[in-house]
Chains A and B, each alone.
Chain A
Amino acid sequence: MLKIDNLAAQVEDKVILRGLNLDVKAGEVHAIMGPNGAGKSTLGHVLAGRAGYEVTGGSADFDGQSLFDLEPEERAQAGLFLAFQYPVEIPGVSNMEFLKASVDAVRASRGQEALSSMDFIKLAREKCQAVDLPQDFLKRGVNEGFSGGEKKRNELLQMMLLEPKLCILDETDSGLDIDALQVVANGVNALRSPDRAMIVVTHYQRLLDYIVPDYVHVLAKGKIVKSGGRELALELEKQGYGWIDEEVA
């Protein structure tokens, strides 16, 4: 589904990704771990097409199409979803309006009819419940004044509404209490399916107790330096990342 080959990228002349490879097939869940500043969020931003992130080499194919040929909104419409590490606050636009605009756009690109306002509101309320967000969050400005945990749940809510093919979750677990973690994990697990793939960026192995990955990768200094199964996450939790310097000189 997603094939990243030797990807290199930079921001404002600062090289961040240096030859990154990753192959994600439908139905798989990949976890990416790695020290702060390694480039995990950058990877997400580059894949989603954030302005200012310059791809300097390599390729990324999504369902056989080169991602870098697409505008950010086209990528989203094609089914790529990035749950932001730091969701953006947009005062003045209600969450509901935002969600509807987004769902309409994605549905239109799939040739689906727009949902009527009534149907949409019903759906949104349902999903709200699923992620344990009170319904008045739909009326508030997008992420405006939401707590850290609420923002993360709002990301999940959007993911559930858009039903993407590939979900990239950037530290969706950070800042969540145990109950919220459970909620997020349930949401993600509910979306797991043979034709959907997930990339879960996290610092904590505990999330992987709930969302069991097929593969675990370590991203450091702009590349994947180690890959393995679940057990790699446990190992990392014990050892930290000190060994990287020795191994990747």
Chain B
Amino acid sequence: MNWIKDLIPNIKRNFSQTLGDKDSKVPEGLWRSCDRCGSILYIPELKKSSYVCSKCSHHFKINVEQRIEVTFDKDSYVDLNQHEEFKDLLDFKDTKRYKDRFSEAKKKTSSDEAISIGHGKIKGKHVVSAIFEFDFLGGSMGGVVGKRFAQAIDYAVENKLPLICFSTSGGARMQESMISLFQMGKTAAAVKKLKKSKLPFISVLVDPCYGGVTASLAMLGDLIIAEPKARIGFSGKRVIQDTVKEELPKDFQTAEKQLEMGFVDKIVDRKDIRKFFEKMLIILE
């Protein structure tokens, strides 16, 4: 591509800037390199392809804002998040205070918690959504995450709308211990309520998705969809490795393995997911 050649001097000048992963040096603003294949990608193009690498189909990690951008019809999304005061009921401290980890997460992301809820249109179909933010404390599920997920379901039930949830999470939030653990009960009970109202729940598993989140809301979808190559499981790989003390299979805990074992309905490329939602929403309406 000739236009790349024209821009190369520019790229080199700005190459010191890093965004995202340590190793993937990317020029400021317009360019970034693929985390998997290293190709230098033009960001406006990357956006158009739903943050999927045009060379190797790597699905970039995206934040809530980008997820909304690639999922919903333009300008149709409405935020349903209510403001929540930060609560540290356990007064939790490990090497850092929970309070400090929480404010760091807020600064690092443009989110106020590890989940955002809202509603909007996908190819004209009105849906409610819950979107996890992995960069916010590992997408971990504390009290507010459970509460918001349940609020999304209440909204869906009141307005007779389907729910789509994008889950990416390390699991429970250690700093809220039992409060976090019981969010699994809260979200499972909420899903049950949605199902009893006969409203569809499409659960999308996004890399990585583990622990208390897969072991509750994420595995309870009427349809369970995964993004290609997403890591999905209950226990973390390291814990399993330490327990079984043997080499784990290469495809262990991948979306593809989950499909083979019968735990996901389909692996859908991010670029095709709007079309998939449209079709399924027509059928499940």
Task: Answer yes or no: do A and B interact.
Answer: no
Interface residue ranges, B against A (CB under 8 Å): none
